[in-house]
Structure 1
Amino acid sequence: MRHILVLLLGGLLGSQALAGDRPARFDFYALALSWSPEHCVARRNDNQCGRGYGFVLHGLWPQRERGYPADCPGEPWDAAMGKAFPTLYPSAHLYRHEWKKHGTCSGLPQRDYHALAERLKGRLVIPEAYRAPVQPLRRSPAALRRDLLAANNWLKEESIALSCGTGGRFLREIYLCLTPDGKTARACSQEMQRREARLCAQPDFLLRAVR
């Protein structure tokens, strides 16, 4: 009987530790911003398309040095968040999707999670040339980093990672890596750096024109 009680107690404690640990066990945040014209090439009917968007928030993602947590136990989605933060995302479906997949792993209540995402998005200054270009922009990874750093002295070169598509010909997203409290830029993981080297292997890429 004692052996059974020990096993049961150990199982309960283990479950509690896992439930309490899973949502907050991550190493850094990645603030992911999509280049909307690239997104809309494949998803022309998305309601974010045709609205003159350049860089838009894809999400605020808890990350580990290798991999990332997803779909953690957490609060059920509250539809009031869309009204509380009406300009956070470019598309209505992202509010629910990003909370369920990524926000639940932040360890924050969803209002605090969305407030942090909004604060970080608002902190980023988009350089003038990238706000609404009517012609495609050709940039190298180094040039894009220089432009972002010139407009945001709180960032670091190593805190910016990129993602490209179509064999590295077009920019898809940028990722800004931050400490788990969201206050300080930090280096992106080696995994993210290797992914950039693979996906953005061309000497330069295009940012499609905003429409």
Structure 2
Amino acid sequence: METMKSMIPTVSTLIIFALSLAPLPCFAGDFLYLVLQWPGSYCSAKHGCCFPKNGKPANDFTIAGLWPCYLNATIPQFCNSHSHLNLAKASNLTKSLQVNWASLACPSNDGSNLWAHEWQQHGTCSGLNQVDYFESALRLKKQVNLLKTLNNAGIQPNGRFYETGAAVEETIRKAVGYMPGVWCNNDKSGNRQLYQVVVCGDVVGNRIIDCPGIPMGKGECAASIKFPPF
């Protein structure tokens, strides 16, 4: 993926090297990463997928994670090992989570293990309570409306290849207002395909904001990438 100078500030070689050793570094600010995932790319990868117990998810991007990022240039994880997800507190969100944050892991499950893991790993570092954390993710996803944005530009999950920067990234930038991060994975034949899209939200998850930096070390994309069906 082509480097975007507006998103990555100029720093010394030493700092770049140091940050490259940290897992998924960011560069500045106090914000949230919303990571959206195309289920067709998850399922067409070598590991395959299993549909949730409530059936095949809708033909739409799903939430892969909501990650807080802090001024120390890292994405903190597992900040409170004693805070376990209590789904009873978020029972009114269960149906929305099943639609928008579905688990495709095998064996088939109801998604509760995924949500509990995401809360433990990232939610406990967000400064939000459990309900607010999941509501923030759902609210930000709705603001992006990613599949509609791509479809309106003629970028559809039909197995065709699209230009990464000029088509996919630029289309999202025009709709959202800010440059996204685009990550890719491989299908079973080794083709690079649109996998995850990253946008940033303010620290309470009310609105999309300009990303101070996109995490490095994730799946780089080729000049053109496949958008597989689901």
**TM-score, normalized by the shorter chain, greater than 0.5:** yes
Q: Distance in 2 between matches of 1:146 and 1:127?
A: 14
| Unaligned 5+ runs, structure 1 | 1-25
Say how many residue pairs are matched.
177
State the 1:168 CA deviation.
7.0
Within a 5 Å distance, the mapping from 1:136-151 to structure 2 comes to 136-142=159-165, 143-151=167-175
* SS, match of residue 87 in structure 1: helix
Match of 2:83 in 1: 75
Q: Distance in 2 between matches of 1:114 and 1:127?
A: 20
Which has more radius of gyration? 1
* SS, match of residue 80 in structure 1: coil
- Higher relative CO (Cα under 8 Å, sequence separation at least 6) belongs to 2
Q: Percent identity?
A: 24
* Equivalent in 28, 33, 36 of residue 36 of structure 2: 33
Match of 2:202 in 1: 179
Alpha-carbon distance change, 136 to 101 in structure 1, aligned in 2, over 3 angstroms: same
Within a 5 Å distance, the mapping from 1:1-211 to structure 2 comes to 27-41=30-44, 42-47=47-52, 50-64=56-70, 66-73=73-80, 75-80=83-88, 83-85=91-93, 86-88=95-97, 89-91=101-103, 92=111, 93-128=113-148, 129-130=150-151, 133=156, 135-142=158-165, 143-152=167-176, 155-157=177-179, 160-166=180-186, 169-182=192-205, 183-189=207-213, 192=215, 194-195=216-217, 199-200=220-221, 202-210=222-230
Q: Deviations over 1:68-120 (max 9, x none)?
A: 11111163210225632122311313221111111010011111111111111
Q: With structure 2 as the length reference, what TM-score do the two structures score? A: 0.66
Q: With structure 1 as the length reference, what TM-score do the two structures score? A: 0.71
CA RMSD of aligned residues (A): 2.8
Q: Distance in 1 between matches of 2:89 and 2:64?
A: 16
Higher helix share: 1
- Is the Cα–Cα contact under 8 Å of residues 58 and 94 in structure 1 kept in the other structure? no
Alpha-carbon distance change, 112 to 181 in structure 1, aligned in 2, over 3 angstroms: closer
